[in-house]
Chain A
Amino acid sequence: MIALQNISKWYGDFQVLKDCSATVDKGQVVVVCGPSGSGKSTLIKCVNGLEAVQQGQIQVDGQEVTSKKTNLTALRSRIGMVFQHFELYPHMTVLENLCLAQEKVLKRSRDEAVSKAEMLIKRVGISEHINKHPSQLSGGQQQRVAIARSLAMDPIAMLFDEPTSALDPEMINEVLDVMVELAKEGMTMMVVTHEMGFAKKVADRVVFMDEGAIVENRPTDDFFGNPESDRARDFLSKILNH
């Protein structure tokens, strides 16, 4: 479903991504972790072309993200993305947030868009807030709205960039629960997160990054059971014992 082949990226002289390769098969969940600044956000933004790469190829659902011939806008509409800071549209209500792209991109009628939005908002458990603005919701609620906004597009895969790291601890689980449920339904997911409990529960593979390179890319049990590199071992001991 998602294939990254030897991608490299530079900001000026600084190389953020170093020859990274990874795949996410249909229905798989891949967790990406690693220290701050290791390039996780950059990597995941390359998948739907929000960031351009200078070398290597990226395919999503058989289409070349990196090719000029690809209709990137159309491809993006089929890949959901959830951000660390939610990025809900603050000037719109929850309902409008969910309807905008449905109507403008998928050309759904107002009624179709609204009923889809209502269904998804109910599913993430915030029906009573559907006519509020994002600023009136808690962080956990906002992130669930953001997930619903992505799901409204009927995505073939979902990308998450640290979806819980801006949340107060007591709100993390309400978001993770939604993600676990999605994973169990068979959604293809690539998730940047430090929530190792989530990784153990649903991830098929774990990708560990350091200084722009993919240091480990292994089945979840192997990664946690016996990490190969010192850096991953070090990272795990820090994150699991805090």
Chain B
Amino acid sequence: MGEFDFSVITNSLPFLGQGLMLSLWLTLLSIIGGIVLGTLLALARLSGFAPLSLTAAAYVNLIRSVPLILVIFWFYFLVPLALGRPIGSFYSALIAFVLFEAAYYSEIMRAGIQSVRKGQVHAGQSTGLNYWQIQRYVVLPQAFRNMIPILVTQGIILFQDTSLVFVVSLRDFMTASSIVARTEGRLVEMYLFAALVYFVICFSGSLYVRRLNKRMAT
């Protein structure tokens, strides 16, 4: 095996950087899309209108009982079939992530919405705000704020999950690291480095969550 040679890392930084950008970009877009769709699902579930809430509940439970990798596969093959043209691995992966994560975010947002006192809704209603206005200006901002720590935690998990996109041959950070590791024959260095990068990003996320929690507790 010989000595460690970390110069492979510095030499391939631009390549790894591209991979990391793809991972982060996919994470960010999936978080945004997942929260938006998840919030709509949560509202549907809490709507009190049976067809709507049952459909949303069925969706959430279905998605939560299949592995993410399967969903990524489905959309890679299904979306082009449905649209009649290929949309590329990135977008099919993004759709899969959004649809998958929405199920988890909807549970978080549902808890958040339920954490807002009923009196807040009454206050909004008594000034003549309609349902959507109350959700938009009164309930959701508070629900979102109460749930930020958990939403961020879910985002960290999502970031780690983006490493699954190798199955649709997207070059995320993990995939890029593997390629370098194999072509340069420097497996140990590369995988150590990859672990370090994931650790630093996820750990700073966790620290941020811990600080938020502390601030919210006071």
Contact = CB atoms under 8 A, between A and B. Distances in A.
Interface of A: 45, 48, 50, 73-74, 76-81, 83, 85, 87-91, 100-101, 104-105, 146, 149-150, 153, 159
Nearest to A74: B128
Interface string B95-128: 0000000000000000000000101101111111
15 contacts: A50-B125, A73-B129, A73-B130, A76-B126, A78-B128, A81-B122, A81-B126, A83-B123, A87-B119, A88-B123, A91-B141, A100-B137, A101-B124, A153-B127, A159-B126
B120 A89 contact: yes
Contacts of B125: 48, 50, 73, 76
Given A83-B119, A104-B133, A89 B138 contact: yes
Interface of B: 117, 119-120, 122-130, 133, 137-138, 141-142, 145
Contacts of B142: 89-91
Contacts of B129: 73, 100-101, 104-105
B203 to A, nearest CB: 30
B123 A89 contact: yes
Given A101-B129, A105-B129, 12 more contacts: A45-B122, A73-B128, A73-B130, A77-B127, A85-B117, A87-B122, A90-B142, A91-B142, A101-B128, A150-B126, A150-B127, A153-B128
Contacts of A146: 123
Given A90-B142, A91-B141, A100-B137, A105 B128 contact: yes
B139 to A, nearest CB: 10
Interface centre among B117, B122, B127, B142 (most CB of A within 10 A): B127
Contacts of A77: 127-128
Nearest to B126: A81
A105 B126 CA distance: 11
B59 to A, nearest CB: 30
Given A85-B119, A89-B120, A50 B126 contact: yes
A104 to B, nearest CB: 5
Nearest to B136: A104
A54 to B, nearest CB: 17
B145 A91 contact: yes
